[in-house]
Amino acid sequence: MNANIDRLRYRCQLRQPASERHEESHPLTWRLREDNAPIDLAEYERKNGYVGTRRALTEHSASEVIDIVKEANVRGRGGAGFPAGVKWSLTLQGEDIPRGYLVCNADEMEPGTFKDRMLLEQQPHLLIEGMIIGAYANNARFGYIFLRDEYREAAASITRALNEAREAGWLGKNIAGSGFDFDIALHTGAGRYICGEETALLNSLEGHRANPRDKPPFPGQSGAWGKPTVVNNVETLCNVPAVLQHGADWYQKLSGGRSDDGGTKLYGVSGRVERTGLWELPIGTTGEELMELAGGMQSGHALKAWLPGGGSTGLLLPKHLELPLDFDSIGEAGSRLGTGLLTVVSKEQSIVALLRNLEQFFARESCGWCTPCRDGLPWTVKVLQALERGEGQPEDIDLLQHLGKGLGPGQTFCAHAPGASMPLTSALKYFRDEFEAGVARPPAAVGEA
Amino acid sequence: MATIYVDGEQYEVNGSHNLLQACLELGLEIPYFCWHPAMGSVGACRQCAVKQFKDEDDDKGMLVMSCMSPAKDGTRISIADDEAEEFRQSVIEWMMISHPHDCPVCEEGGHCHLQDMTVMTGHDRRRYRFNKRTHRNQDLGPCINHEMNRCITCYRCVRFYRDYAGGEDLGAFGANDNIYFGRYEDGTLESEFSGNLTEVCPTGVFTDRTHSERYTRKWDMQFGPSVCHQCSVGCNISAGERYGEVRRIENRYHGEVNRYFLCDRGRFGYGYVNRDDRPLRPECPNGDGERRELDVDEALDRACELLRNAKGIVGIGSPRASLESNHQLKQLVGEDHFSTGLAGNEQACVERMRALNESCGLATPSLREIEQHDAVLVLGEDPIQSAARLGLSIRQAVLGRREELAEERGVPLWNAEAMKTLAQDQRYPLFTAYPQTTGLNGIVEQHWNLAPADIARLGFAVAREIDPDAPPVPDLDVSTRESAKLIAEKLLAANKPLLVSGGSLGSKAIIEASGNIARALAKRGKQEAGLSLIQREANSAGVEMLGGQPVEWALDRVLVGEADTLVILENDLYQRLATETLDAVFAKTPKLLVLDHQRTVTLERADLALSSASFAEADGTLVSMEGRAQRFFQVYEPRHMRPETRLHESWRWLHALAAERDKEPATDIVLDAVVRDCAERNAALAGIVEAAPDADFRISGQKLARSPHRYSGRTSMRAHLDVREPAPTRDPDSALAFSMEGYSGFDRPRQVVPFAWAPGFNSPEAWNKFMDEVGGHLRAGDPGVLLFRSADEVSDYSGEIPEAFVRGDDWQLTVLPRLFGGEETSSRTQPIIERSAPAHIAVARADAERLGLRDGDWLSLTGQFQALTLPATVNDQLPEGLVSVPAGLDPALITGARVSLSRIQLDEEVSS
């Protein structure tokens, strides 16, 4: 059992040796140790830790910090790619506005995704730094890390780091002599995928059912406990300290012209490749380059399709590997970059079974608030199960198409069902024959065979 | 106003509404589930999707939920768009996946919003071929049936139960397609407003269990537009009948009073109408201890004999009888011989309340207006127990802070969840002072547990803090002064402070204290403030306005020998006065002529009992605590199904009696004549003629139908009596017909609406079709007329400030009103009996500890009445020196009485 867990852990670690990671080119991972052990405060500070924070708090006003992050064009790494600086600039601030919260979305539960986990386990201080800067920019009075319950190791690591930071004065009153007060609490979730949706996360944080909230008002206007609240993904916040340390220009150039977006991205690959794991690469790295780092497909397997960034992104074909893995390029190909962790599908694997597995997950994780998601997703599961058993009916393909459409963006309350419909509609587009094969042949046809 | 375009047509709408509401008000049909006019939008069901276009040139558009989209100027939408229609069909299809399709055996069938919406969207083919998800149902008590498999998960139930009504024991459980709305375990729903679930639920998950035993489809019932007789608020109800029994009470929309909701006493407390032991014919003792029934002529002869032979007659009226019946009694016995039927202290309270309503300088708000107030002080009342529907409105007032905050942040007022999130626990201030915790405790800013005298003193102190000219409170302690200062500050800081008080504790001082605060606020220019005074019974205000002596006066006439005959109208004296008092009077063997619809102790003593009609068989007028005179109309004619009955309105009996006695030709009288006569003879009641249209009212020459046009079985329902079908009974008293023939539509404005139905809307949602705007007023104006007349001058401050309560060697009794079990007629109804908490004597914890008392110890309560033995409960809130009992146990128990307690040791041998 333990060996199994260790093997799984090994398979989701960073694959770049320390010698290949540098402060100026690998802002997210250059400090990480070869032994994958968490970096404590002493080591972190030794490795230029909290420089960005000190600079933000003592050299810049809150609005300057926002401008820098905006200029750097840090795009949200949770999957949607919304520019963090723009989000921050929309947070209500003012004398008659109560100070609100900065919430880190660490409820990483996207199928095939394990990047935040690595950051949280090994480098919690980078996140704390990002949160302090984010809180300062957004005038937040308190921070929460909403952590996926299964990330027990991360919880221990974060708790240790929070204590260290508090002791060292990086959290609490008058941080770094700046007059800014801020502290962070760790909140572990109860294991619902929907809590990764920022407003469902806020409801859950408040102790309510994890149903998403309607927008507007956005969390920046009325978030946790009705106060202005910023919710950022772990990786997004981890990008911020280096931006403050080295500047927006530097960050922009990190992608080396591969993409209009700046910075690096934690990419990953899982599935039937030689080497699964994580790589910090310039954003805009192509799928081909990433697959090469992963050592290509395992012998006996050929690539049939791939999910660019989690279970809620649309399937792409091998030919799409030539695209830069950035938000816009993958979007134009009809999918989403999502979390940027590729899941590869081998020709030996059944698309119908894959979809059945995914939709079962999404149906189970529906919060049950809106009708299409609550009642439509389980229906797709039932149909997919029938097709998987070869008991499908000829109308089932059209029905799936219809369901996929009804679960699309704008028709459901939040992005959960549209996320679930994306792999389904793309699979129907690219692999319709596999679905058709699941339709039961009429008895006469069976007889002839 | 905003201009919007729907399917190419241009419309002017209220721009602050959402598109769904705006379209419904235009008469455009968009199906919906989760949106509710009183609870706003949440966007959960996705049923109200329409296509929205960016501008004139946008021909692609995108689907939006109309309930979650503002009706902004220039908005362009299409309801008829193919994609929108297809999506709306899909939504119903999804909802129906696990629905049991059990309409034929479902009690919602025929007034089911899900049926209506399914038809509206056109979904009629089932494609889902797999197993359905099923749920286990719960026993939710005597009032509500639970059938979770019918659920379409619109979340209306929990939103009403928890957010709107403050209940805590109904919740949403589970996730994905396994959401469950219920309690954490089986058990009676605790909320006083649980019955509204039956109307809020768009399908048959929550249905009326009291209706279940004698179930009838909505289309097969005959309805009467009625007014609830179970408290003084005056909620409008629609009572449904079949086979001579009341089958169900539903909400009847009134834009100023109850709007969409009723309390459970009003909804489920009707069973006394159907009791087997009701006097259905006149009766008299036959000499051997038995009673025999009489026919009408014989009864009238005997009655006249009684009246003619009488040496002094006194008539005792009733606050639970109509104005018309009280008026006819007053006419029969003469003004100088008429008693209101109210006990003396009660009458004094009601008189003071009206005086204050008319001259304290503040208006008496309707329930709708109450919800607009922004600071509330409740003195000496637990409105959830004494006037529940009003308590629900106070809750909305206090939660109104959400709307203010939403406006500040630009959140539309229909965006319910967003307002809740924004406001969190920020509320308008609510202060309560009561001997123990109240049903509003969850939303109070501060509550004081005080003895009645101290509640009054706090009130007087508040008045003094508001206006230094108000009389000072002698020997005021520091903490009460601080409390008064806090309350005064908050009331003055509000735009529309509201005072709520009343007669529940029988304390004139508390009422006067509220009056002083009202006067003080008026003097400080708080013209928008309001004073709401709760009375005990449905027509307390009416009978007081009619005028008369208290009931003790009437009994004294017997004791002093001035009267030997009592005519008692719908009044069980044993519910009003101590048995000892009454026994002393009856020892004088006065002749008793009793009119009632219930077999009461008083009726059983009658020398002649006349079988009166209950509200369900009668027309009449009630005056609510707000001074609103409202007409209630007969639901059914009892003789149609039970020819042997001789039930008549008391006013009809009394008219016949007067005619017989005076040897006038015995012509029948009609309601309008009694109403006019009552109005002419009583200046204060002059307005009641206008309380409803008269019997000549017609729409397109038609009377108004009491039954839906699909009413079935008319020709056969009496076949067991007579195969010939009689002509429908004529109704000379109202514009309503005992028939499905007549006008029953929504498009011609009318105030008298027995049941709400509109094409495509069989459910209570049909009410929205009768309104000027959704959630507004009936297009013909809300029924009833306000009788209280504001005086030009604000009356003088009262100086009747009581001394502070000091505990003595004995105990001071308080009798606390209760919704279930605290009212006479509803307490004769099984589900209400089941929901009444067991009677007990509450003792303050400190006292109990001193005496070594524990919960369940038996206590004997003695005073100026027969000893009462009840179990003790130790109460954490009750002030020391006070004991409390719930109302409805024994009328001898009066708040303020000094009583003594002794512990009873149960005799082991006897008890075993």
In DSSP notation, B769-829 reads GGBSSTTS-BTT--S-EE-----SSPPPPP--PPPPP---SSEEEEEE--TTTSSTTGGGS
Give chain B positions within 8 Å (CB) of A407.
none
SS3 content of chain A, % helix, strand, coil (to 5): 45, 15, 40
**B670 touches B732 (CB < 8 A):** yes
pLDDT at residue B328 tops 60: yes
Q: Do A382 and B176 touch (CB under 8 A)?
A: no
pLDDT in tens, B258-277: 999 999 999 999 999 999 99
Write out pLDDT tens, residues B510-519: 999 999 999 9
In the predicted model, is pLDDT for residue A446 greater than 60? no
- The reply to whether A239 touches chain B by the CB within 8 Å rule is no
Residue A214 near chain B (CB below 8 Å): yes
Crossing angle of helices B82-95 and B113-121, in 10° steps, is 140
Give the rounded distance of the alpha carbon of B194 from its chain centre: 13
- Nearest neighbour of B422 by CB, restricted to A226, A382, A393: A226
Q: Which of B91, B172, B418 sits opposite A371 (nearest CB)?
A: B91
Inter-chain touch A214–B418, beta carbons under 8 Å? yes
Work out the minimum CA distance from B148 to partner chain A, whole angstroms: 15
Summarised one tens digit per residue, pLDDT across range B686-709 is 999 999 999 999 999 999 999 999
CA-to-CA distance for A294 and A298, rounded, in angstroms? 10
d(CA B62, nearest CA chain A) in Å: 8
Q: Which position has the higher pLDDT, B890 or B388? A: B388
What is the C-alpha to C-alpha distance for residues B623 and B234, in angstroms, rounded to an integer?
8
Tell me if chain B has a CB within 8 Å of the CB of A98: no
Q: Which of A374, A384, A402 to mutate to test the interface with B (most CBs of B within 10 A)?
A: A374
A207 φψ region: left (φ > 0), alpha (ψ -120 to 50), beta (else): left
Q: What is the pLDDT of residues B276-316, one digit of tens each?
A: 999 999 999 988 888 999 999 999 999 999 999 999 999 99
| CA distance readout (Å), B815 to B263, B454, B890 | 21, 16, 10
Q: How far apart are CA B835 and CA B190, in angstroms?
A: 9
Give tens-digit pLDDT for B443-477: 999 999 999 999 999 999 999 999 999 999 999 99
| Contact check, Cβ <8 Å, B87/A374 | no
CB A127 within 8 A of CB A91: no
Nearest to B153 among A365, A374, A410 (CB): A374
For residues B378 and B511, give the distance between their C-alpha atoms in angstroms, rounded to a whole number. 11
Q: How far does the CA of residue A373 sit from the closest CA of chain B (Å)?
A: 8
Report yes or no: A363 at the B interface, CB cutoff 8 Å.
Answer: yes
Q: Which residues of B touch A372 (CB under 8 A)?
A: 46, 90-91, 94
Please indicate if any CB of chain B lies within 8 Å of the CB of A207. Answer: no
Contacts of B176 in chain A (CB under 8 A): 363-368, 374, 377-378
pLDDT category of residue A449 using cuts at 50, 70 and 90: very low
pLDDT of residue B911: 39
Q: Cβ of A209 under 8 Å from any chain B Cβ?
A: yes
Euclidean distance between CA atoms A59 and A47, whole angstroms: 21
Indicate whether B373 pLDDT > 60. Answer: yes
The pLDDT score that the predictor gives to residue B574 is 94
B51: closest CA of chain A, how far (Å): 11
CA of A369 vs chain B CAs: smallest distance (Å)? 6
User: Quick check: B97 and A411 CB within 8 A?
Assistant: no
Amino acid identity at B393: S
Kindly indicate whether the ipTM for this predicted assembly is greater than 0.90, answering yes or no.
Answer: yes
Residue B912 pLDDT greater than 70, yes or no: no
Q: Which residues of B touch A368 (CB under 8 A)?
A: 153, 174-179
Contact A82, A75 (CB under 8 A): yes
Q: Which residues from chain B sit within 8 angstroms of residue A376, using beta carbons?
A: 90, 94
Kindly write down the DSSP assignment for every residue of A118-184, as one continuous string: HHHHH-HHHHHHHHHHHHHHHT-SEEEEEE-TT-HHHHHHHHHHHHHHHHTTSSBSSGGGSS--B-E
pLDDT digit string, tens, across residues A110-128: 999 999 999 999 999 999 9
Tell me how many degrees the CA angle B689-B690-B693 measures, rounded to the nearest 5. Answer: 95
By C-alpha distance, the chain A residue nearest B415 is A214
Distance, CA of B446 to CA of B381 (rounded, Å): 15
Q: Using the beta-carbon criterion (under 8 Å), do B175 and A402 form an inter-chain contact? A: no
DSSP string, B444-478: -SEEEE--HHHHHHHHHHHHHHH-TTSPPPTT--H
Instruction: Please determine, for residue B232, whether its predicted confidence score (pLDDT) is greater than 80.
Output: yes
Instruction: Give the gap in angstroms from C-alpha B94 to the nearest C-alpha of chain A.
Output: 5
Report, as an integer, the average pLDDT of A407-423. Answer: 94
Place B339 in a pLDDT band, splitting at 50, 70 and 90. Answer: very high
Tokens describing residue B129: 């071929």
- Asked if the C-beta of A402 comes within 8 angstroms of chain B's C-beta atoms, the answer is yes
Distance between CA atoms of B703 and B478, rounded to whole angstroms?
Answer: 65
* Pairwise CA distance, residues A158 & A120, whole Å: 7
Closest CA to B706 of B633, B597, B759: B633
Query: Residue B533: in which H helix or E strand, if any?
Result: strand B530-534
- Tell me what pLDDT residue B906 has: 64
Give the CA dihedral B270, B275, B281, B284, nearest 10 degrees: -120
What local confidence, expressed as pLDDT, does residue A442 receive? 64
> How many pairs of residues across A and B have Cβ atoms under 8 Å apart?
111
- Interchain contact, B176 vs A395, CB within 8 Å: no
Mark yes or no for CB contact B178/A368 under 8 Å.
Answer: yes
Give the model confidence (pLDDT) of B857-883 as tens digits: 999 998 877 788 999 999 999 999 999
- When pLDDT is cut at 50, 70 and 90, the band that residue A440 belongs to is confident
Distance from CA of A317 to the nearest CA of B (A): 29
Helix or strand run (H / E) with residue A55 = helix A51-59
Within an 8 Å CB–CB cutoff, is residue A411 touching chain B?
yes
- Do A28 and A264 contact (CB within 8 A), yes or no? yes
The conformational region for residue B742 under phi > 0 = left, psi -120 to 50 = alpha, else beta, is: left
Give the gyration radius of chain A's Cα atoms. Answer: 22
With an 8 Å Cβ cutoff, the interface of chain B facing chain A consists of 42-47, 49, 62-64, 68, 87, 90-91, 94-95, 97-98, 127-130, 133, 152-153, 155, 172, 174-179, 405, 409-411, 415, 417-418, 421-424, 426
The answer to whether B778 and B753 have CB atoms below 8 angstroms apart is yes
Rounded Cα distance, B575 and B567, in Å = 17
C-alpha span between B366 and B628 (Å, rounded): 9
User: What pLDDT band is residue A5 in, cutting at 50, 70 and 90?
Assistant: low
Query: How far apart (Å, rounded) are the C-alpha atoms in residues B244 and B222?
Result: 10
Query: What integer pLDDT is reported at residue B424 of this predicted model?
Result: 96
Contact B130 A375 (CB under 8 A): no
Q: Cβ of B64 and A192 within 8 Å?
A: no
Q: How far apart are CA B839 and CA B190, in angstroms?
A: 17
Tell me, what's the pLDDT at A410? 87
How many angstroms separate the CA of residue A379 from the nearest CA in chain B? 8
Task: Tell me the nearest-neighbour CA distance from B4 into chain A, angstroms.
Answer: 21
Other CB atoms within 10 Å distance of the CB of residue B341: 31
CB B863 within 8 A of CB B899: yes
Count the neighbouring beta carbons within 10 Å of the beta carbon of residue A396: 23
Q: Where are the beta strands (DSSP E) in B585-660?
A: 591-596, 608-611, 620-623, 628-632
Confidence bin at B910 (pLDDT 50/70/90): very low
Nearest 5°: CA angle at B87, between B82 and B92? 130
Instruction: Give CA–CA dist B621/B610, Å, rounded.
Output: 20
| Contact flag A371-B128 (C-beta cutoff 8 Å) | no
Q: How far is B901 from chain A (nearest CA, A)?
A: 47
The type of residue at B541 is A
What letter represents residue B77's amino acid?
A: I
How far is B5 from B77, CA to CA, in rounded Å? 6
Contact A363 B172 (CB under 8 A): no
pLDDT value at position A355? 97
| B409/A371 CB distance under 8 A | no
- Region of B561 please: left (phi>0), alpha (psi -120 to 50) or beta: left
Among B308, B500, B246, CA closest to B393: B500
Strands B375-379 and B497-502: parallel
Q: Do A375 and B95 touch (CB under 8 A)?
A: yes
B2: enclosing H helix or E strand: strand B2-6
Question: Count of residues for chain A?
Answer: 449
Looking at residue B908, its pLDDT comes to: 47
Contact B40, B414 (CB under 8 A): yes
Q: Note whether A192 contacts B175, CB cutoff 8 Å.
A: yes
pLDDT for residue A365 is more than 90: yes
Three-state SS at B397: helix
* Residue in B with minimal Cα distance to A202: B421
Question: Is A95 an 8 Å CB contact of chain B?
Answer: no
**DSSP-derived secondary structure for B187-251:** -----TTGGGHHHHSSSSSEEEHHHHTT---GGG-EEEEEE--SSSS--EEEEEEETTEEEEEEE
Query: Among candidates B229, B227, B818, which has minimal Cα distance to B538?
Result: B229
Nearest CA in chain B to A370: B44
**CA–CA dist B203, B112 (Å, integer):** 5
Chosen from B88, B92, B421 to mutate, greatest number of chain A CBs within 10 A: B421
Partners of residue A381 in chain B, C-beta under 8 Å: none
Any B CB within 8 A of A222 CB: yes
